[in-house]
């Protein structure tokens, strides 16, 4: 059996040195610019949310879901046809089951008779199998309130832990703002691409809080606990490690999005990708800018 090549310590150090050199332009940016640009993006994201909030899914607003198995159809075309025939705003998704058979899901507003949808679909696809389920608006409202509370309490718990760990308002608020901005930008991009806000995407936003805090803690710890590094060298060390972490995670999420045939998994992967891309900016530019500006004043955190 052939043995794989192993990288010598000197080669590893050389690769790291090249990686840091490529990222040196970040360390040379003025802290005020590092703070300003992400703030502008955050404000734009808020404006986008104000005019184009993501549509709510059936599980948050109630409605009817009709599932047809054994159907291979263009969901956009079928959506137009059903909306025209029924006089409602229907949403159609296609899926591929684990066994490889294709199907569709039709989402209709609460109060729609699912049998009417099934009757129309049976005329087009007589050999397909159909099932349906209803989500009452009251249950949807309950799920929405619980999801909102989960995000608020998760933020409060995260903020308490961050304050207790760093015991400094500047570094703590920078981390909390980065997490908030990641989430706001991710939700704004969801609205642009028409990704629905559902219980699954709320779970993805909660996961995003955890990941954001990890990368911010790495950065803050590297800069505040440095011993042999200057601020710039500590920043380059942190950003090199952080980029590697984020890139590998993005690669895994991208493969999930490409391979998955489940709309739920696709949406979860998409939300996390949006949030992680925003985290590149908010952690390694905004938070780093705040810390560099604060530490350059000779203040120890």
pLDDT digits (tens, 9 = 90+) for 190-241: 999 989 999 999 999 999 988 888 889 989 888 887 665 688 888 888 888 8
pLDDT of residue 222: 85
Sequence ranges of the domains in the chain: 27-56+139-296, 63-135
CB 287 within 8 A of CB 175: yes
Burial of 287 (0-12, 13-18, 19+ CB in 10 A): buried
**Statement: residue 6 has pLDDT above 60:** no
Q: Which of 11-15, 125-129, 236-240 has the lowest mean pLDDT?
A: 11-15
pLDDT of residue 245: 87
**Average pLDDT over all residues of the chain:** 86
pLDDT of residue 11: 60
Mean pLDDT over 170-177 rounds to 92
pLDDT of residue 264: 87
pLDDT of residue 66: 92
Select the highest-mean-pLDDT range: 119-128, 140-149, 215-224, 273-282.
Answer: 273-282
pLDDT of residue 3: 45
The model's confidence at residue 166, banded by pLDDT at 50, 70 and 90, is: confident
pLDDT of residue 2: 43
The model's confidence at residue 289, banded by pLDDT at 50, 70 and 90, is: very high
The model's confidence at residue 4, banded by pLDDT at 50, 70 and 90, is: very low
pLDDT of residue 15: 66
The answer to whether 27-56+139-296 and 63-135 have equal CATH topology is: no
**Statement: residue 1 has pLDDT above 60:** no
The region that residue 258 occupies, defined by phi over 0 for left and psi between -120 and 50 for alpha, beta otherwise, is alpha
**Statement: residue 299 has pLDDT above 70:** no
Percent pLDDT > 70 in the chain is 90
pLDDT of residue 187: 96
Distance CA 170, CA 158 (A): 15
Q: Does domain 63-135 have CATH number 3.30.160?
A: no
Residue range 27-56+139-296, CATH number = 1.20.1640.10
Mean pLDDT over 128-153 rounds to 88
What pTM did the predictor assign? 0.82
The residue with tokens 């995000």 is 151
pLDDT of residue 10: 58
């Amino acid at each position: 059996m052939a043995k794989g090549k192993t990288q010598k310590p000197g080669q590893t150090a050389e690769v790291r040195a090249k990686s840091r050199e490529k990222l040196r332009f970040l360390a040379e940016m003025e802290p005020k610019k590092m703070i300003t640009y992400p703030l502008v993006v955050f404000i734009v994201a808020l404006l986008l949310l104000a005019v184009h909030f993501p549509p709510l899914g059936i599980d948050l607003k109630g409605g009817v879901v009709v599932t047809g198995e054994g159907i291979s159809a263009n969901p956009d075309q079928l959506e137009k046809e059903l909306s025209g025939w029924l006089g409602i705003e229907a949403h159609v998704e296609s899926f591929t089951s684990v066994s490889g058979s294709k199907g569709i899901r039709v989402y209709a507003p609460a109060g729609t008779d699912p049998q009417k949808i099934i009757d129309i679909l049976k005329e087009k696809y007589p050999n397909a199998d159909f099932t349906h389920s209803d989500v009452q608006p009251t249950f949807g409202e309950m799920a929405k309130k619980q999801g909102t509370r989960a995000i608020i309490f998760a933020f409060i718990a995260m903020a308490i832990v961050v304050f207790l760990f760093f015991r400094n308002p500047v570094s703590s608020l920078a981390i909390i703002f980065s997490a908030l901005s990641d989430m706001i930008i991710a939700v704004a991009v969801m609205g642009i691409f028409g990704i629905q806000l559902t219980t699954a995407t709320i779970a993805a936003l909660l996961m995003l809080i955890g990941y954001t805090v990890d990368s911010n803690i790495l950065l803050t710890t590297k800069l505040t606990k440095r011993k042999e590094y200057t601020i710039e060298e500590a920043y380059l060390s942190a950003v090199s490690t952080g980029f590697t972490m984020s890139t590998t995670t993005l690669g895994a999420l991208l493969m999930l999005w490409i391979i998955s045939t489940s709309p739920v998994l696709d949406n979860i992967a998409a939300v996390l990708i949006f949030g992680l891309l925003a985290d590149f900016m908010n952690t390694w530019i905004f938070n780093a800018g705040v810390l560099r500006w604060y530490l350059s004043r000779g203040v120890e955190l």
